Amino acid sequence: MFEIIKENNKYKNLVNGSWIASESNDYIEIKSVLDNSTVGFVPTMSQKEVDNVLENAKVAQKQWRETSIDERANLLYKAAEILEKNVGVFVDSMIHEIGKDKKSCKSEVLRTADFIRYTADTVRTMSSECLVGDGFYGGNPKKTGIIKREPLGVVLAISPFNYPINLAASKIAPAIAIGNSVVLKSSTQGSICGLHLVRVFEEAGVPKGVIQTVTGKGSEIGDYIVAHKNIDFINFTGSTDIGKRITSKCGMIPVILELGGKDAGIVLEDADLDHTANQIIGGAFSYSGQRCTAIKRVLVMEEVHDILVEKLLNKIKDVTVGNPLNGDFDVVPLINDKSADFVMGLINDAKDKGATILYGDKREGNLIYPTLIKDVTLDMNVAWEEPFGPVLPIIKVKSYEEAIEIANKSEYGLQSSVFTKDINKALNIADKLEVGTVQINNKTERGPDSFPFLGVKNSGIGVQGVKYSVEAMSRPKVTVLNI
Enzyme catalytic residues = 258, 292
C-alpha 315: how far from chain center:
27
Query: If you write DSSP's letter for every residue of 121-183 in order, what string do you get?
Result: HHHHH---EEEETTSSTT--TTEEEEEEEEE-SEEEEE--SSSTTHHHHHHHHHHHHTT-EEE
Minimum distance, C-beta of residue 117 to ligand G3P, in the bound complex (Å): 17
293 is a contact residue toward ligand G3P (CB under 6 A): yes
Instruction: With CB under 6 A as the rule, give the number of residues binding ligand NAP.
Output: 32
Q: Min. distance of Cβ 302 from ligand NAP in angstroms?
A: 30
Q: How far is the CB of 122 from ligand G3P (least distance, A)?
A: 18
Q: What single-letter amino acid sits at 239?
A: S
Residue type, 9: N
d(CA 241, CA 245): 6
Residue 162 in the binding site for ligand NAP (CB under 6 A): yes
Instruction: By CB under 6 A, tell whether 171 contacts ligand G3P.
Output: no
Distance CA 15, CA 215 (A): 11
Distances (CA, A) of 371 to 275, 288, 290, 359: 20, 10, 14, 5
What are the b/e assignments for 428-453, b being 16+ CB within 10 Å?
ebbeebebbbbbebbbbbbeebbeeb
Instruction: Tell me which residues in 274-313 interact with ligand NAP (CB under 6 A).
Output: 292
Q: Does 465 bind ligand NAP (CB under 6 A)?
A: no
Q: Is 188 in the site for ligand NAP (CB under 6 A)?
A: yes
391 contributes a contact to ligand NAP by CB under 6 A: no
Cα–Cα dist 317/178, whole Å: 47
For residue 261, the partner it binds in ligand G3P, ligand NAP, none, with Cβ less than 5 to 8 A by kind, is ligand NAP
Are 64 and 75 contacting, i.e. CB atoms less than 8 angstroms apart? no
Q: Does 292 bind ligand G3P (CB under 6 A)?
A: yes
In whole angstroms, what is the distance from residue 310 CA to residue 312 CA? 5
Taking a C-beta distance cutoff of 8 angstroms, is the pair 81, 116 a contact? no
Which listed option, ligand NAP, ligand G3P, none, makes contact with residue 217 (CB within 5 to 8 Å by class)? ligand NAP
Judged by beta carbon distances under 5 to 8 A according to partner kind, the member of ligand G3P, ligand NAP, none in contact with residue 112 is: none
Considering CB distances under 5 to 8 angstroms, the limit depending on partner class, which of ligand NAP, ligand G3P, none binds residue 161?
ligand NAP
Residue from 40, 160, 164, 360 in contact with ligand NAP (CB under 6 A): 160
Nearer to ligand NAP, 159 or 213 (CB): 159
Phi then psi for 10, rounded to 5 degrees?
Answer: -95, 120
Q: Does 69 bind ligand G3P (CB under 6 A)?
A: no
Q: What is the enclosing helix (H) or strand (E) of 77? A: helix 69-85
Q: Report the residue number, 180 or 293, with the smaller CB distance to ligand NAP.
A: 293
Task: Write out the residues near ligand NAP by the rule CB under 6 A.
Answer: 158-162, 167, 185-188, 217-219, 222-223, 226, 237-239, 242, 245-246, 258-261, 292, 386, 388, 414, 455, 460
Task: Write out the residues near ligand G3P by the rule CB under 6 A.
Answer: 162-163, 167, 291-293, 445-447
